[in-house]
Amino acid sequence: MNDDIVLKMRGLTKYYGDAVGIEDLDLNVYRGEIMGFLGPNGAGKTTTIRTVLGLLKKSAGKAKIFGLDSHEDSVKIRRRVGYLPGEFGMFNDLKVKSFLRYLLSLSDVKSEEKMMDVGNRLELEFDRKIKELSKGNRQKVGLVQAFMADQDLIILDEPTAGLDPLMQQRFYELLREEKDRGKTVFMSSHVLAEVEEVCDRVAIIKEGKLQVVEDIESLRNKVGKKLIVEFSEEVSPGEFRMKGVNELEVDDKKFSMVVTENLDEVIKKVSAHSIVNMNLETFSLEQLFLRYYSEGEA
């Protein structure tokens, strides 16, 4: 991975009175990666994004984008950042194209080529008035404005809210293309499937505090694999009470266990017996997330 840090948080904290919004966040986002920022609603994702962009006053710590202080240099930073907020305000009486042209005029980019390209790929109706749009189509407008000025860093807060499955897939294609062009994406989500599909790394936030920052495959390996095996003969559970085997459950001749290490040794023990059926499952990110939040560990 490229070592250029595009977005850096150190001890970033935001309190709302006595309530914790986010606390002591340390996180790097590197050039050319898609970082997923994962957590349930209310975990602190939007507060993090708005504090990083200087839209909320931080209580402590630092946030830097392109090496610039996110609060002191916010104007310079925004010239290089595309942003989709969770709630995107629009001028309801304007037509979509007029509204997007107005926003584009505020940037240094004067060409409408990318605006039209992204909008057409998302099947956005440019000649409709904003007030006539459904929630999904309003979200498309927000996505177009986030990408159309071709900035170096794209920050997206719940980007697929309201999009149908086809448009979600087109959005994922767009993200991959931006990554291939060297762009950096930081996107919050509680939709686990999309993080798993497009992100290189994931940061999990819970109750305002970062719990895990890891690439997805490494995170899966830490959680382990689920092995389910049915024997045709009686097998002693004691054979599998070993390092790296957790959550061992036995129902007659059917064994279920989570293996976090020593998988080769476990398979050797299994293969020493007559097997009726066996299945080795890799946890999906959704299963991983649910296990993490229910058990408080990864």
Series of mean pLDDT values for 10-residue runs along the chain (298 residues): 83 95 97 92 92 95 95 90 90 93 88 95 95 94 95 94 92 95 93 82 92 82 85 95 92 93 92 95 71 55
Give the predicted TM-score (pTM) of the model: 0.81
Same-domain pairing of 255 and 169:
no
43 & 14 share domain? yes
Helices 113-121 and 165-180, interaxial angle, to 10°?
140
Residues 229 and 211 reside in one and the same domain = no
User: Residue 243 is part of which domain span?
Assistant: 225-282
Tell me how many domains the chain contains: 2
Q: Are residues 212 and 229 in the same domain?
A: no
The pLDDT tens digits of the residues spanning 189-233 come to: 877 777 888 999 999 898 999 988 988 777 767 777 889 999 999
Q: What is the CATH number of the domain that holds 94?
A: 3.40.50.300
Asked if residue 164 is part of any domain, the answer here is: yes
CA 283/CA 197 separation, integer angstroms: 14
Share of the chain above pLDDT 70, in %: 93
Residue 294 lies in a domain: no
Six token digits for residue 175? 């993200």
Q: Please report whether residue 288 resides in a domain.
A: no
57 and 126 within one domain: yes
Of the candidates 115, 50, 121, 56, the one whose C-alpha atom is nearest the C-alpha of residue 84 is 50
Cα separation of 161 and 189, whole Å? 9
Residues 246 and 112 in one domain: no
Q: Do 167 and 230 sit in the same domain of this protein?
A: no
The answer to whether residues 31 and 160 belong to one domain is: yes
Same domain, 211 and 256: no
Q: How far is CA 246 from CA 222, 263, 280, in A?
A: 12, 12, 14
